[in-house]
Amino acid sequence: MENSRKKIVIVGGGFGGIELAKKLKNTNVDVLILDKHNYHTFQPLLYQVATGGLEADSIAFPIRKIFKGQKNFKFRVTEVQKIDTEKNRLNTTIGNIDYDYLVIATGSTSNFFGQSEIEYNAMPMKSIPEALNLRSMILQNLEAALIAETPEQEAALLNFVVVGGGPTGVETAGAIAELKKHVLRNDYPELDLKKVNIYLVEGSPALLSAMSVQAQEKSRQFLEEMGVTVYTETRVQSYDGKTLVLGEGKQIHSSTVIWSAGVKGAIIEGLNPDAIVRGNRIKVDVTNKVEGYENIFAIGDVAAMITDQTPNGHPGVAPAAIQQGKQLAQNLLAILENKPTKAFEYFDKGSMATVGRNRAVVDIKKVRFQGVFAWFAWMFVHLMTLVGFRNKLVVFVNWVWSYFSYDRGTRLIIRPYKKKNLENTSNDI
Amino acid sequence: MENSRKKIVIVGGGFGGIELAKKLKNTNVDVLILDKHNYHTFQPLLYQVATGGLEADSIAFPIRKIFKGQKNFKFRVTEVQKIDTEKNRLNTTIGNIDYDYLVIATGSTSNFFGQSEIEYNAMPMKSIPEALNLRSMILQNLEAALIAETPEQEAALLNFVVVGGGPTGVETAGAIAELKKHVLRNDYPELDLKKVNIYLVEGSPALLSAMSVQAQEKSRQFLEEMGVTVYTETRVQSYDGKTLVLGEGKQIHSSTVIWSAGVKGAIIEGLNPDAIVRGNRIKVDVTNKVEGYENIFAIGDVAAMITDQTPNGHPGVAPAAIQQGKQLAQNLLAILENKPTKAFEYFDKGSMATVGRNRAVVDIKKVRFQGVFAWFAWMFVHLMTLVGFRNKLVVFVNWVWSYFSYDRGTRLIIRPYKKKNLENTSNDI
């Protein structure tokens, strides 16, 4: 009896992996989640951690705690190095782990499109340690600006550039603008605020390209009202850590370049190269089964479900990952019972982005609105989808506090950021 | 006129330094605080950060924010390397800084009493990065215990030893006992909780040696009720990272040894060696003036005001530092106006320590009480002395949450702790 139980190994404790494992509760399978962190990250609010608005701990949730009382669940902190698809085995940093069914839910990582100089010098923001590094760096650069020796140095330290005009880029640029407006004046009376500049650089013609034209235009207007200089149709040529060179000869001296210009799938070595498509995503069929395998699946950002309706796969957003996790749970159980599987259907809940206080944009199918009400809607949705009551409560308290005080309370340099060097990768964690 | 303004440089943004600078608001002097962190740390709650009870960010407060609007105040993040008492100048990591009056308020650091092997292997807990390292290490060791290869390895990973029976040691041992009782059962159903042991090791005959006999006995009773093994009159001989060797041949296999057995003054190079007394403290007169200097003062943990009434100086607690800071502000202004200075008088507000839920001990002069009421008193006093309304609110929310849920919510390994090695000291920050 015990031996007939199948073991489902899920790599990644993000939105998709967590949902899948939850939906397998009280079923006749064993579930093992592997993740390099012991917590689930609520990625949509990373930019608030990076800009001193929220504690890191309130957007992270211990994975073990999510599954408290789920008897068929186990968890290990480890990094998967390779899949041995012949032996149905994973090589990991804590040894080999066998599976009957494997689900790759590893999400995505920053895409620097092969430009290693930019990768080396620009700041990504896809994980909590990265967001904390960025928080430290922004604050360190403000401190350094006070003692800059040349006007060039000072300018570079006070020019903040966000590359990438998707939701993360828009939200980050807006948050830095609010930091300037409400906090720097009080915290750095010695600084000439006119020298603090915030840029948002986007390669395509519009910000928030996945949203409606109204949302695109309004978000740009909001940013400009808040003092952000927006460059669209502008590509980054190079960044040496000091000077960001843009198309058409434009350049900005900046010590702080935040990279949110693209993501790629966080794939694991060992899959057939044919299964990997554009953007490092894993090609899956309508049941999220990886092309060429019978017992390997991929969900969420790392999966590319390419159909006639979705030639680029689904958007890399939490609802798509959650819905795929939910559907895959049903399909895995169906497979085990030799019942027919069901094709995944994406239900688009709409999208939203916040630019700043009282300024957000929301598209829900044909319903589009912007401004104060959109901002409250954005906060409500994010609060509700945060994992854990304590986190909801602490984030709510912080937001209410910030609303009335105009403050971003957690501007702390807990671990100073050190420039990467080849010997020491301790910042990369 | 401007030139006659005197510049008072305060090294250290702890309780004493902050109080002094605040009390100099709206006076005819310039105040500069130097600190290696950009925040003030509320040290009494560090152990709650280390044991997953509180976010780091809620016990830290940006120093710049404390002094918002104080026109004669400046702040720099830097480490002071040396005092040049001849030139009235500090050598720092951001260059030389001149002073008219210097106040050393650098606090204390862990004292390993010259045992470098212990220093290398045991975990200190005197700063936020250290508390976060400890939090990571405790959680990493629990994860590692699940995959231990030998019973010896497993035992070492599940034995937690706190060395030092002062308030910090008692509070830390109690917090780990609560973690075991309320959290590990849910989070690690695979672990045999009987194998998880918590030890508190103290060299002298009693815990909380500065408190009343009632407090000493009751705290020991509380700890033992909570399952902590208490060894008094037991000295640590050695610790190689695996085995803690105690007096009389006792030994404990442990990967987690937390060091709270003593502190020493965090002195700065450059003072006359005669001014440095036992425990690396700086000898000061009754106005906190450093022996042998006319314009250098020391306050708080780093200062030893040795008089007939206080042969060992004042206790290294926040109220002593705050009271000295306050008095020194008056005395500095008196000096500048050629008025007589006043001798410092310590007002002992009493002391308290919490062992766990509903279990604390309080001594206020002759009034002594223990248990539930003491615990609420402890929480009230700590909440009220936390800097900043946001911090108070977030800590309060966390405590109420923990009280009803029996949970410690922030058990996150944000930055995995790596054993120190000589090449990489990134954990030492």
Which chain B residue shows the shortest CA-CA distance from A40? B412
Q: Given CB atoms, is B69 within the 8 Å cutoff of chain A?
A: yes
For B140-165, what is the mean pLDDT? 96
Whether domain A116-261+350-410 has CATH 3.40.50.10860:
no
Residue B8 has pLDDT above 60, yes or no: yes
Task: Answer yes or no: do A62 and B411 touch at CB < 8 A.
Answer: yes
Q: Given CB atoms, is A190 within the 8 Å cutoff of chain B?
A: yes
| Residue from B412, B421, B424, B425 to probe the interface with A (highest A Cβ count within 10 Å) | B412
For B327-356, what is the mean pLDDT? 96
Task: Answer yes or no: do B55 and A60 touch at CB < 8 A.
Answer: no
Task: Answer yes or no: do A407 and B415 touch at CB < 8 A.
Answer: no
Which chain B residue shows the shortest CA-CA distance from A391? B409
Q: Which residues of A97-126 are buried (b: 16+ CB within 10 A; e: fewer)?
A: bebebbbbbbbbbbbbeebeebbebbbbbb
Measure the CA–CA gap between A173 and A125, rounded to whole angstroms: 13
Confidence of residue B405 (pLDDT cuts 50, 70, 90): confident
Query: Which two structure tokens, joined as six digits, stand for B344?
Result: 């410092």
Domain boundaries, chain A: 2-36+78-110+263-336, 116-261+350-410
Tell me which chain A residues have a C-beta less than 8 angstroms from the C-beta of B190: 74
Q: Which residues of A268-277 are buried (b: 16+ CB within 10 A; e: fewer)?
A: bebbeeebbb
* Residue B222 contacts residue B371 (beta carbons within 8 Å): no
User: DSSP strand E in B224-265: where?
Assistant: 228-231, 236-239, 243-246, 251-253, 256-259, 263-265
For B38-48, what is the mean pLDDT? 96
User: DSSP strand E in A152-267: where?
Assistant: 159-163, 197-201, 228-231, 236-239, 243-246, 251-253, 256-259, 263-265
Q: Residue A346 — φ and ψ, nearest 5°?
A: -85, 130
ipTM, 2 dp: 0.92
pLDDT at B387: 87
Q: Which residues of B292-306 are buried (b: 16+ CB within 10 A; e: fewer)?
A: ebebbbbbbbbbbbb
| A420: closest CA of chain B, how far (Å) | 12
* Residues in CB range of A32: below 8 A, 6 or more apart: A7, A8, A9, A10, A73, A74, A75, A76, A97, A99
Give me the total of CB pairs closer than 8 Å, taking one residue from chain A and one from chain B.
144
Measure the CA–CA gap between A210 and A193, rounded to whole angstroms: 34
Measure the CA–CA gap between B294 and B360, rounded to whole angstroms: 44
Residue indicated by tokens 């598209």: A363
B171 labelled catalytic? yes
Whether B116-261+350-417 and B2-36+78-110+263-336 are alike in CATH topology: the answer is yes
Say what angle helices B318-336 and B15-23 make with each other, to 10 degrees.
30
| A371: closest CA of chain B, how far (Å) | 27
B273-301 pLDDT per residue, tens: 999 999 999 999 999 999 999 999 999 99
Query: Which two structure tokens, joined as six digits, stand for A9?
Result: 């190994």
Name the residue among B222, B220, B250, B254 with its Cα closest to residue B239: B254
What CA–CA distances, in Å, run from A369 to A3, A354, A355, B320?
55, 12, 13, 57
* Residues in CB range of B216: below 8 A, 6 or more apart: B206, B207, B208, B209
> Cα dihedral sign for B286, B292, B295, B299?
negative
| CATH class (in words) of the domain with range B2-36+78-110+263-336 | alpha beta
* Residues in CB range of B29: below 8 A, 6 or more apart: B5, B6, B7, B8, B72, B332, B333, B336
Tell me which chain B residues have a C-beta less than 8 angstroms from the C-beta of A398: 390, 394
Query: Which two structure tokens, joined as six digits, stand for A56?
Result: 């890191």
Alpha carbon of residue A127 to chain centroid: 7
Which chain A residue shows the shortest CA-CA distance from B389? A401
Tell me the pLDDT of chain A (429 aa) as tens digits. 445 899 999 999 999 999 999 999 999 999 999 999 999 999 999 999 999 999 999 999 999 999 999 999 999 999 999 999 999 999 999 999 999 999 999 999 999 999 999 999 999 999 999 999 999 999 999 999 999 999 999 999 999 999 999 999 999 999 999 999 999 989 999 999 999 999 999 999 999 999 999 999 999 999 999 999 999 999 999 999 999 999 888 999 999 999 999 999 999 999 999 999 999 999 999 999 999 999 999 999 999 999 999 999 999 999 999 999 999 999 999 999 999 999 999 999 999 999 999 999 999 999 999 999 999 999 999 999 998 888 999 999 999 988 888 888 789 999 999 876 434 344 333
| CATH class (in words) of the domain with range B116-261+350-417 | alpha beta
Measure the CA–CA gap between B39 and A409, rounded to whole angstroms: 11
